Copies of this chain bind each other. A is one copy, B any other.
Amino acid sequence: MTHQAAIALGQSLRVLAVAETDGAALVAADVHIGDHTDLDALRTFAKDCDVVTFDHEHVPGDHIRALAADGVNVQPSAEALRFAQDKHAMREKLTELGAPVPRWAPVASLADIEAFGTPCVLKAATGGYDGKGVWIIDTPAEAADVLASGVRLIAEEKVDLARELAAVVARSPYGQVAAWPVVETVQDGGICVEVIAPAPGLAEAKATEAQELAIRLAGELGVTGVLAVELFETRDGRLLVNELAMRPHNSGHWTIEGSRTSQFEQHLRAVLDYPLGATELAAPVVVMANVLGGEPGGMRLDERLHHLYAADPAVKVHLYGKAVRPGRKIGHVTALGADLAETRARAARAATWLRDGHGSIGS
């Protein structure tokens, strides 16, 4: 999706991919196959690039610092990216900045967890995604296995959650920041399944509070490119920062058709230090639903697309060229509309149909 944006801007996108079958490697013209944890591969890749950026958080900070020391223009910097790579570092920094976060503490033993109190949520400081690296425990004893694994952990209070939101912004090295409307993100089993823009029923003051928080964090942390601030909205109306992502993020996929500037274009504009694009909504309601891999068998994806397009000529489909595995994000769909319930239903129907290839797709 970044390549789609790069094409319009006349930019030559070079991709570092672990395998030729990676989604980005399948579509880009200039592909280096190599491991992002291999400094030599990174150095060879970065040679002659105007700017190097990321679509995940797994490049080691020391390698990024080494590239920067070589004179490579890396956006965002290792110093900023650290707060999207390490939840302990992120919680510490946000606490220092006075940003609202759940009560938390680093924990390394049963005694630490007893002291923190249960029930609570344990999170791996690094490496978690889509619900992996998160454990909800009711008693300290339930933490035995994960403690024994030696993974570095933080504990967080179980938040009395009303729903999850995301405030997505982009910031350029020059310091310009642009914010998209705050969205609601709907999770199922730790995986984001749906994003609704704008977040339904969110008071304007709350939306502004979320945007201002994201803008402030982008500046304080020195983020360049897209920053997605995942938020908990509690039942008593508070906003707490859950996670940070410093790259185009699932909570911003709706912007491809749903905003005047997509997060992919904006990320490129930001890391290239161009002035940022307009972030207005393109319709009153925009709903993105992730397409997950379904069980094997049934219609070919190609045939599923046929039926979907016949049933809904206006839904937009994005497939990532990934091999289908049950529960894996293999694409997303976006519906634009005027009515919230109808637009959500269209997006959900399309995503479910592409996953299952059976059931009802007719109107």
Q: Interface of A with B (CB < 8 Å)?
A: 1, 3-4, 6-10, 12, 25-29, 31, 178, 257, 260-261, 269, 274-278, 280, 282, 301, 305-306, 309-310, 313-314, 316-321, 331, 336
Contacts and interface: CB of A to CB of B under 8 A. Distances in A.
Given A3-B27, A278-B313, 10 more contacts: A1-B7, A8-B318, A8-B319, A9-B305, A10-B301, A28-B29, A178-B313, A260-B314, A260-B316, A261-B313
Contacts of A3: 7, 27
Give the oligomeric copy count. 2
A27 B8 contact: no
B274 A9 contact: no
B10 A319 contact: yes
Nearest 5 A/B pairs, CB to CB: A10-B319, A278-B314, A275-B309, A275-B310, A278-B313
A305 B274 contact: yes
Contacts of A10: 301, 319-321, 331
Nearest to A26: B29
Q: Give the dominant DSSP class at A's interface.
A: mixed
A5 to B, nearest CB: 9
7 contacts: A6-B27, A10-B301, A10-B319, A10-B331, A12-B321, A26-B29, A276-B313
Nearest to A313: B278
Contacts of A31: 29
A9 B302 CA distance: 10
A288 to B, nearest CB: 13
A8 B28 CA distance: 13
A27 B27 CA distance: 8
B12 A8 contact: no
Contacts of A318: 8
Nearest to A269: B309
A4 B12 contact: no
Contact of A313 (B12, B27, B277): B277
Nearest to A11: B319
Contacts of A280: 314
Contacts of A4: 4, 7-8
Contact of A309 (B274, B313, B317): B274
